[in-house]
């Protein structure tokens, strides 16, 4: 018997972060192992309510659910879920008439033009005169953006689609779903409050004191206690690095909003982010309602002013009594892995939810933890590599969100003037923007294997914000116009095929949500 082996993992906090961690750890460590299982215990407060706003995911989340052997249709039905093909940005830039512009960040990339990016040819066309927007011209995306088609069929195999896609889901229902899954996988559940944390002389966590059960020993702990950071922040006092030098939004109003009458029967297969005077509003179209919220800067509007603006935006006679105001601490811990504690989810850091990366952080943290899984000595080399990758991911997402603000051309409110002229972009983003004035983003520009955004994510957003206007790239004329015309013909055929094959998204969701399914493979 290996006395140095970690036999027991303790997760402090439930919610989506805690129960997704438990589910993944159970699957990765115990489902096919050759020795005794690693015990996994989740301690979840019975008193702390979950925030059940609409949540969205990135496309990689499909692989996580597939790995867990969860049946996709059952997941969608159980979590009030719908499908997501893109993020739609409204009003982040203005057109020549001062009207709100719109651009999409889809989850699928166009093919190449005989080894060269079709974006070069697109930009050459755009210099010569008006053309359709990039995502609509180079991909069959208008099938999903305009026709509201679904990215998979009713009879498709689980997790197989016409294009890459992600999900919209109810975070509270999702946490409950994973709780049932985890308990079925022999994860221990303790409903109790953590009232104290015991550290030894090295700063390792050796025990927790629970309100009802008293003292329990700890070998290795995952802090999933949200913004409280009960272990990492409060007990271990790990410093927090704020991102407020580059991101001004620090408050959010969250609400659950029924569909308007005119929206009945139309469920958009994309998330919307609409710019308002001091920030932006998210709309996550779930099956039975919308998850909505206003992310804003308290330095540029008061809570009352933000509430009034949000209520005017959503319409329908809602009141402030239905809303919650949530302070946001945007940034990350200096180290997410300290000694024998790893911070997962909000306890480790938070970046505003513009690109829906919260669950991506959780799943990646667990994959990386199992890749660098320690023994009881917890080698600093393992923690250092994990922390390097984690900080890199936080900073990449910070940069992408900063990009949306920094490249805005709006001048109509103090907030938009500030993010354009007064807030510096992070140095890492500034270097990339300087590079991309000389060449288009490519896979060679990515920061590492932990990168979440591919080159097309950047190209779509940069094009939508007019970054490429007036730029002539030296390599832009390498491939002939005939090749580009052939490429566009292929895209047109794909678009026509999808209009025939892809079902209406709302109709597909009605069929999925009205049937019964087996939840998962035990």
Query: How would you list the strands of the sheet with 337-338, edge to edge?
Result: 188-191, 39-44, 8-12, 220-223, 341-343, 337-338
Query: What is the rounded distance in angstroms from the CA atom of residue 337 to the CA atom of residue 28?
Result: 19
Half-sphere exposure of 498 (CA within 13 A, CB side): 24
Q: Write down how long the chain is.
A: 522
CA angle 514, 518, 522 (to 5 degrees): 160
Edge to edge, the sheet with strand 349-350 lists 240-242, 331-333, 349-350
The CA distance from 71 to 433, in Å, is: 42
- For residues 7 and 219, is the Cβ–Cβ distance under 8 A? yes
Measured over the CA atoms of residue 201, residue 202, residue 205 and residue 206, the dihedral's sign is negative
- How would DSSP label each residue in 11-50? EE--HHHHHHHHHHHHHHHHSS-SSPPPEEEEEE-SSSPP
How many other CB atoms sit within 10 Å of the CB of residue 141?
26
Q: Which of 84, 133, 149, 179 is catalytic?
A: 84
Dist CA 356 CA 89 (whole Å): 13
Q: For the chain, give me the number of helices (H) and strands (E)? A: 15, 22
Kindly provide the residue ranges of all beta strands, DSSP E only, lying in 144-230, ordered along the sequence: 166-170, 188-191, 194-199, 205-210, 214-217, 220-223
Quote the tokens at residue 418.
Answer: 């500030």
Catalytic annotation present for 84: yes
Is-contact 51 81, C-beta < 8 A?
no
State the catalytic residues: 84
């Amino acid at each position: 018997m290996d006395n140095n082996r970690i036999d027991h993992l303790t997760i402090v906090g439930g919610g989506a972060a805690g129960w997704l961690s438990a589910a993944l750890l159970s699957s990765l460590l115990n489902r096919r192992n050759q020795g005794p299982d690693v015990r996994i215990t989740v301690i979840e407060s019975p008193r702390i309510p979950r925030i059940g706003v609409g949540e969205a995911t990135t496309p990689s989340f499909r692989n996580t659910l597939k790995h867990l052997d969860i049946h996709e249709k059952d997941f969608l039905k159980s979590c009030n879920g719908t499908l997501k093909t893109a993020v739609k940005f409204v009003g982040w830039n203005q057109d020549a008439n001062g009207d709100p512009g719109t651009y999409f960040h889809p989850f699928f990339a166009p093919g190449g033009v005989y080894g060269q990016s079709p974006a070069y040819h697109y930009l050459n066309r755009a210099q010569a005169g008006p053309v359709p927007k990039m995502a609509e011209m180079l991909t069959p995306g208008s099938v999903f953006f305009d026709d509201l088609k679904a990215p998979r069929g009713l009879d498709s195999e689980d997790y197989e689609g016409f294009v890459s896609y992600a999900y919209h889901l109810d975070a509270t229902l999702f946490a409950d779903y994973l709780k049932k899954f985890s308990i079925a996988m022999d994860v221990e559940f303790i409903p109790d409050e953590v009232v104290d944390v015991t550290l030894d002389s090295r700063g390792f966590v050796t025990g927790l004191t629970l309100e009802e059960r008293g003292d329990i020993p700890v070998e290795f702990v995952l802090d999933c206690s949200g913004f409280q950071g009960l272990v990492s922040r409060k007990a271990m006092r790990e410093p927090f690095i704020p991102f407020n030098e580059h991101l001004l939004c620090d408050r959010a109003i969250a609400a659950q909003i029924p569909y308007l009458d005119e929206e009945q029967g139309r469920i958009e297969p994309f998330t919307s982010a609409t710019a308002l005077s001091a920030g932006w509003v998210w709309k996550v179209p779930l099956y039975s309602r919308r998850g909505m919220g206003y992310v804003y800067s308290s330095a540029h509007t008061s809570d009352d002013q933000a509430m009034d603006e949000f209520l005017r935006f959503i319409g329908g006679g809602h009141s402030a009594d239905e809303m919650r105001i949530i302070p946001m601490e945007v940034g990350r811990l200096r180290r997410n892995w300290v000694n024998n504690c790893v911070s997962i989810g909000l306890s480790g850091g938070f970046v505003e939810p513009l690109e829906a990366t919260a669950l991506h952080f959780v799943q990646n943290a667990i994959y990386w933890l199992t890749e660098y899984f320690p023994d009881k000595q917890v080698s600093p080399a393992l923690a250092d590599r994990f922390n390097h990758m984690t900080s890199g991911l936080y900073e990449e997402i910070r940069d992408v969100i900063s990009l949306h603000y920094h490249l805005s051309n709006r001048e109509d409110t103090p907030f938009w003037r500030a993010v354009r002229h007064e807030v510096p972009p992070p140095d890492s983003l500034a270097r990339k923007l300087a590079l991309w004035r000389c060449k288009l983003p490519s896979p060679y520009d990515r920061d590492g294997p932990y990168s979440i955004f591919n080159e097309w994510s950047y190209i779509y957003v940069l094009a939508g914000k007019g970054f490429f206007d007036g730029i002539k790239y030296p390599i832009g004329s390498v491939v002939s116009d005939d090749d580009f015309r052939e490429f566009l013909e292929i895209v047109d055929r794909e678009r026509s095929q999808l209009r025939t094959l892809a079902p209406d998204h709302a109709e597909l969701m009605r069929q999925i949500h009205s049937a019964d399914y087996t939840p998962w493979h035990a």
